[in-house]
Structure 1
Amino acid sequence: MEKIRAVCCGYYGQGNAGDEALLASLLQMLPDNVLPLVLSGDPKKTRDRYNVETFSRKAFFPVLKALRQSDVFIWGGGSLIQDATSAVSPLYYAGLMGLAQQQGLKTIAWAQGIGPLNRHLTRWVARNAFAGCSAVSVRDRASATLLRNWKISSIIAPDPVWALDSLPVKGLWDLPAPRVAITLRSHPQLTPTRLNNLTRALIDFQKATETCILLVPFQLNRDYAIAQSIASQLPGPNHIFSLEDPRELKGLFQGVEMAIGMRFHSLIMAASQECRCFALSYDPKVNLLMEELAMPGWDLDQLPDDPNTISKAWLEHYVNGDALTPHQIQSLVDRSLMHRDLLAEALAVG
């Protein structure tokens, strides 16, 4: 069968485990007759990890070369089209989509989480970019509603990382049980005062539960210093896991009783492995996940000022909270495979 060459574009090769998990999920879901060409911030690392052809996402002429060698442009997944941090991200990705369409490529928006889009320009650019796609899948109701208001059809399915394969983690089972994983990230809402309150609450929580605390940075340059700071203050056993393969990150949660996290994909990975989860939200996508899974937690800007209140909430969930049932997890995994089915249909030869 003749190979279809597909440029895969996302926030890949930037050291963010959530986006790496989306890339790994995409590569896992691509039909066998598709040859991926991945645009990456670190082409060598991406090539070595996934054994795929890569091009620098930051260099115009290599990107243009990749487009000219290809048949399809796959755009996603995740929160690529949002202007909460800056207007640059949606303009960059929509610009690449427009360039791909100018080159005559079939364009697919895959597993998108759209928004927030606060600027008129970025909303206009996003609407036109999605309107030019041959197929669109989204991962949440808010994104589907936005596209429906724009008269753009899409399918909605849970984030594809629900279906990502997992790999065992060396050394995990040598650590004392039970284990609780913590995934915090640098963010303006995680002020020094809030981080101190969370750390003090975690100290009390560990004393009460005698758990081993696993600190899991999902993006080293944003998360590792926070993990180190917490680890230096914990009274009991703890370990920092700096894992680069997203399949290992998902496998880590197989040995965890409960996860307390800010990172969106850490909560998905943990929930998929039957962990009890407690969310600390900094972003609407985390709030949507909390709502959809009935997951307890707080918005960071509403975090209690009293560490004892925080610790008691964690203890209550640790003792009496419920993880997703195997049936619920399997349903989410099965429905997330709709993103795979969209690829198969859109890339079918004929």
Structure 2
Amino acid sequence: MRAVLCGYYGMGNGGDEALLATLLQLLPSEVTPLVLSGNPPWTQSHYGVEACDRKSIPQVIAALRQSDAFIWGGGSLMQDATSWLNPLYYGGLMTLAQRMGLKTVAWAQGIGPLQRSFTHWFTQQTFSHCTAVSVRDRGSAQKLSDWDIPFTLAPDPVWALEREPVPGLWELPAPRVAVVLRPHAKLTPARLEVLTQALIDFQLATQACVLLVPFHLTQDRPLAEAIQPRLPGVSKILMLSHPQQLRGLFQGVEMAIAMRLHGVIMAAAAECRCFALSYDPKVSQVMQELELPGWALDEIPEAKGAIAKTWLELYANGDALSSDRIRAIIDRALLHQSLLQEALLGADKRSAL
């Protein structure tokens, strides 16, 4: 069986690459993947799979004609907060695959925000014709329930991503603290300044080695490069392109301060104390479900001392998730794998699960 994998792949975003890496890890061995990518040569060399240009209509149509299945590979693809074109692109491809008779799987999806009536209707129609659907959060599950569409609800599959060691990480002085920031309209210059000042005070108090980790190299790197020269102690900008190394990074840090969703998830999965800065409901939902400390961006204190004090309290006395709880979450995340087996290979594979 051949399956086309569709997501925000080959675009330099570590979280979406982590979703692709996890999907490839969990995909049944009988299925040969073909990835729609923004950088096909990079995707082919990094993952050892066939890839084609996600923006080339002839290549995409040829890929669909050669395949038996089409998979939305995780993430918030059907949302119009970033652009109203997102649901048209992803939903258009899903609709085309459905009309061509392929098995279609909406895998590990986060639905919304959907701010326009047309994109809301189009999303409902697209999901209703899928062979199988899995979602990663309760908000998306509620939408599908309201639409009377069957689904599987399970934690984000990146919880199950295998990890690889980061070359040179253990040579950096301990303790190590990872910081994962991303640009956002609510991360105003004033808020970024107070966070930077708080990070300076935190480093002076802990003597920690601060690792600034751009998940999206193009977007996040300027933030890291603006902060690093101001830090008084040892620091390093770690630009990792392999998702498994991003996952492995958090095994070697004492604490993480993270905005990006998969930074929060990878830190929590590594039994790392984690402080979340939420810019999106998907981050807030994970904070609530895991009872993680953190703030929404518009709730960040105006005083650097209050921020540094909160971080120091977590560093000194905070608890990471227990290994038993992490194992239970990973076990539930593997429901996404079971869905792939049943949707793509049928009932004859159920006994092997």
TM-score > 0.5 by shorter chain: yes
Match of 1:85 among 82, 86, 104: 82
Match of 1:346 among 325, 343, 346: 343
For 2:252 and 2:321, locate their aligned partners in 1 and report how far apart those are by CA, in whole Å: 16
How much does 1:347 deviate? 1.1
For 2:271 and 2:251, locate their aligned partners in 1 and report how far apart those are by CA, in whole Å: 8
Name the SS for the 1:270 alignment partner.
helix
1:3-46 C-alpha deviation (Å, 9 max, x unpaired): x0000000000000000000000000000100001000000000
Match of 1:139 among 136, 141, 166: 136
For 2:121 and 2:336, locate their aligned partners in 1 and report how far apart those are by CA, in whole Å: 25
The one-letter code of the counterpart of 2:20 is L
How much does 1:76 deviate? 2.3
Name the SS for the 2:113 alignment partner.
coil
How much does 1:109 deviate? 0.3
Name the SS for the 2:78 alignment partner.
coil
The TM-score normalised by the length of structure 2 is 0.97
1:274-302 C-alpha deviation (Å, 9 max, x unpaired): 00000000000000000000011011011
Name the SS for the 1:232 alignment partner.
helix
For 1:335 and 1:183, locate their aligned partners in 2 and report how far apart those are by CA, in whole Å: 26
Unaligned runs of 5+ in 2: 349-353
For 1:15 and 1:31, locate their aligned partners in 2 and report how far apart those are by CA, in whole Å: 26
Name the SS for the 1:206 alignment partner.
helix
Q: Does 1:304 align with 2:301?
A: yes
Alignment of 1:65-214 (within 5 A): 65-214=62-211
For 2:298 and 2:57, locate their aligned partners in 1 and report how far apart those are by CA, in whole Å: 40
User: What is residue 290 of structure 1 aligned with on the other side?
Assistant: 287
The one-letter code of the counterpart of 2:236 is H
For 1:166 and 1:79, locate their aligned partners in 2 and report how far apart those are by CA, in whole Å: 23
Aligned Cα root-mean-square deviation (Å): 0.7
User: What is residue 53 of structure 2 aligned with on the other side?
Assistant: 56
Spell out structure 1 runs of 4+ moving beyond 6 A: none
The one-letter code of the counterpart of 2:33 is P
How much does 1:104 deviate? 1.0
Name the SS for the 1:114 alignment partner.
coil
The one-letter code of the counterpart of 1:227 is A
Aligned length: 347
The one-letter code of the counterpart of 1:26 is L
Match of 1:277 among 274, 287, 290: 274
1:241-281 C-alpha deviation (Å, 9 max, x unpaired): 00000000000000001000101001100110000000000
1:152-187 C-alpha deviation (Å, 9 max, x unpaired): 010000000000000000010000001100000011
Match of 1:21 among 10, 18, 22: 18
User: What is residue 247 of structure 1 aligned with on the other side?
Assistant: 244
Name the SS for the 2:239 alignment partner.
coil
For 2:106 and 2:98, locate their aligned partners in 1 and report how far apart those are by CA, in whole Å: 12
For 1:75 and 1:260, locate their aligned partners in 2 and report how far apart those are by CA, in whole Å: 29
The one-letter code of the counterpart of 1:99 is L
Name the SS for the 1:251 alignment partner.
helix
The one-letter code of the counterpart of 2:25 is Q
User: What is residue 315 of structure 2 aligned with on the other side?
Assistant: 318
For 1:211 and 1:193, locate their aligned partners in 2 and report how far apart those are by CA, in whole Å: 25
The TM-score normalised by the length of structure 1 is 0.98
For 2:57 and 2:150, locate their aligned partners in 1 and report how far apart those are by CA, in whole Å: 31
User: What is residue 6 of structure 1 aligned with on the other side?
Assistant: 3
1:113-147 C-alpha deviation (Å, 9 max, x unpaired): 11111110110010000001010000011100110
Name the SS for the 1:202 alignment partner.
helix
